[in-house]
Amino acid sequence: MKISAILDAYLIYAETHIVSVERTRSAVAALKREFGTRDHMRLTPRMTASYRATEGLAAGTVNRELGVLEAALNHAREERLIERAPEIAKKRGAAKRTVWLRPEEVEALLSAAKAYPFLYTLIQLLLLTGQRLEAVLSLRWEQVDRKEGVVWFADHNLSLADRRKGRGAVPISLRLAQLLDELRNGTPYVLITERGSRMQHINREHWSAIVNAAGLPDLKPHDLRHTVATNLIRNQVPLIEVSKLLGHANTRITEQVYVGFAPKFLRNAVSKLDALVGAA
């Protein structure tokens, strides 16, 4: 079966089963350019290992696209469109990337963002809640509970709730309350376009202009979630609280990603060792 047909079938599935499908669409387009005319059983590990090798892309970016190809092949097998799926060899060296900002860098980012009002508002919401970009962009007023003083990002009544990555229940701070008041509108969504429809994307050129002006050219929107978690942990906020805010399933996930950024975390422990050696 032609890989283009396999990718098309998967994209139809993804449109109704994946919360944020934009990245999948982009990956499908790139994969079809490279492999679309090939039969799936003529796809070799060497071909996939060299996928987009001359374009200077990060290993993680390449592997995300190859992950879409892998998912498409597995979907085709499950739907019995093909009997088996070939092995997909991914690019090595795709270490997980964790970037976070110190308070002075947050200040520089916010200062640069003032030139772009929507992104200035969005950055504040990301920093005040610690949630993922998609969770903030899709936020509905029905999730904002002013009586209880909580924003229910993990609203199980939302469509495809079981497929959404972890989202937290965020208490409404004073600044967040002020910002939500400023954003009040007559639509179901908190963030809207000039035409009153839901804001689904950010302007990447404006984002690049902001991060370059702030001296943070490698910054991505998801790094603001890392920024929230890392700064909270460095300020000795208990892991359980950070974990709940982020919407992690358990504190183990939070520990694996963030504890290494908190050198004060074990200070109490090593003080006990001082006492041990002193007693000896």
In the structure, what pLDDT confidence band is assigned to residue 259 with cuts at 50, 70 and 90? low
Q: Burial code of 90-122, b = ≥16 C-beta within 10 A, e = fewer?
A: bbeeeeeeeebbeeeebebbeebbeebebbbbb
- pLDDT band per the 50, 70, 90 thresholds, residue 56: confident
CATH number of the domain enclosing 233: 1.10.443.10
Which amino acid would we find at residue 265?
A: F
Domain shared by 144 and 222, yes or no: yes
Do 36 and 134 lie in one domain? The reply is no
Give the CA-trace dihedral at 90, 92, 98, 99, to 10 degrees.
Answer: -110
Examine the domain organization and report whether 65 and 108 are in the same domain: no
22 and 148 share a domain? no
Question: Range of 56's domain?
Answer: 3-78
**Are 138 and 238 found together in one domain?**
yes
Percent of the chain exceeding pLDDT 90 equals: 58
**Measured distance CA(131)–CA(154) in Å, rounded:** 10
Q: What is the pLDDT of residue 164?
A: 47
Would the pLDDT of 113 be above 70? yes
Say yes or no: 245 and 149 in one domain. yes
- Structural domain contains residue 95: no
pLDDT at 279 over 70: no
Q: How many CA atoms are closer than 13 Å to the CA of 115, on its beta-carbon side?
A: 14
Angstrom distance (rounded) from CA 30 to CA 217: 25
Any domain includes 268:
no
Residue at 59 is within a domain: yes
Phi-psi region at 243: left, alpha or beta (left = phi > 0; alpha = psi -120 to 50)? alpha
pTM assigned to the model: 0.67
Of the candidate ranges 45-54, 134-143, 149-158, the one whose mean pLDDT is the lowest: 149-158
| Whole-angstrom distance, CA of residue 122 vs CA of residue 210 | 13
61 lies in the same domain as 111: no
Q: Which of 13-27, 69-83, 103-117, 202-216 shows the lowest mean pLDDT across its residues?
A: 13-27
Percent of the chain's residues with pLDDT above 70:
86
DSSP-assigned beta bridge partners for residue 39 = 2
Closest-CA residue to 229 (of 210, 211, 253):
253
